[in-house]
Structure 1
């Protein structure tokens, strides 16, 4: 019922056509991963991270971009109900666009709905296996579920793609995903 209402609200401009295939950004991302791995300082690494996000946040068409931007603005203003509705609409319109799932997962995570966050993160990673944001988001979600070994493994995969993630601090000695020490 909720989806039907959402579809009715956006039926005009969005549903006049189908969502185009998301642009293949794999070659650009591979180059950015290598650039991140060889960045010499945090400022350079963060600049590369920003370029990655520009690629992921570039929706397949103007209608999808408008929905994505609206959902992100709603999330930023803590309108999680509105953000979920927007991301539901985006996913219904562009079911093969990984960022729709990643953004909806973030709202689920912020709402402590970790099971639904993992479902969306898994779908985002199926569509975009090297999506660093989805990888680190999945690691944080697993960590919040107490699945530390799986969270550590997932975070290491994200850090391999982008060693400048702020979440890398979670892998330090004594941090929640840090190496397991010797038991007394």
Structure 2
């Protein structure tokens, strides 16, 4: 029995960082993000807007510490390889370790969205937005998730909010005339 306890403890410790209260606060990029939102709203070309959007992503993906960055990067790598279960495992660990880091929830939501588990995605998107109210990607992701749930009025509201922050979003065509999130009465 003693050997089993030591083996179990060794397995737990070698599986990664101790979860919960060990994660520091996420870096505060709110000022820089506010500047980037202002710049992207004033952008005049798709290329300029894409560069600014990439700068936003770099800030959102700046995890609180090295262990959380490794979990985020590993989850994104697994998602990129279509290993959604592996990605979810990494993002679950990240959210458990850093419950105040919005991007952990946003990335887990994206994997659930890709898996068509819209209800799970919506819960995580709500949490990501609560932690980072102007997280444009989470807001547009919430709109897409609501569209997947056929909650069109709410989806339209979120897409309008996301487009107010970033009028260059790739999803903007969904809110254009004829799109599924176009304002009612504004179809072709």
TM over 0.5: yes
Mark the CA change 1:182 to 1:62 in structure 2 (over 3 Å): closer, same or farther: closer
CA RMSD of aligned residues (A): 2.1
Query: 2:69 matched to 1:65?
Result: yes
SS in 2 for 1:35: helix
Q: TM-score of the superposition, structure 1-length normalised?
A: 0.91
* CA distance in 2: counterparts of 1:174 and 1:11, whole angstroms: 50
Q: Structure 1 stretches of 5 or more lacking a match? A: none
Mapping of residues 88-167 of structure 1, within 5 Å? 88-167=92-171
* CA distance in 2: counterparts of 1:182 and 1:37, whole angstroms: 23
Deviations 1:47-105 (A, max 9, x none): 11000000000100111111100000101111111111100000111110000000000
Shift of 1:25: 1.2
Any conservation in 1 of the 2:177–2:186 contact (CA below 8 Å)? no
* CA distance in 1: counterparts of 2:186 and 2:38, whole angstroms: 35
SS in 2 for 1:129: coil
Runs of 4+ in 1 over 3 A off after TM superposition: 9-12
Aligned length: 178
Match for residue 27 of structure 2 among 16, 19, 23: 23
Mark the CA change 1:96 to 1:182 in structure 2 (over 3 Å): closer, same or farther: closer
* CA distance in 2: counterparts of 1:177 and 1:9, whole angstroms: 48
Q: Structure 2 stretches of 5 or more lacking a match? A: 1-7
Shift of 1:8: 2.2
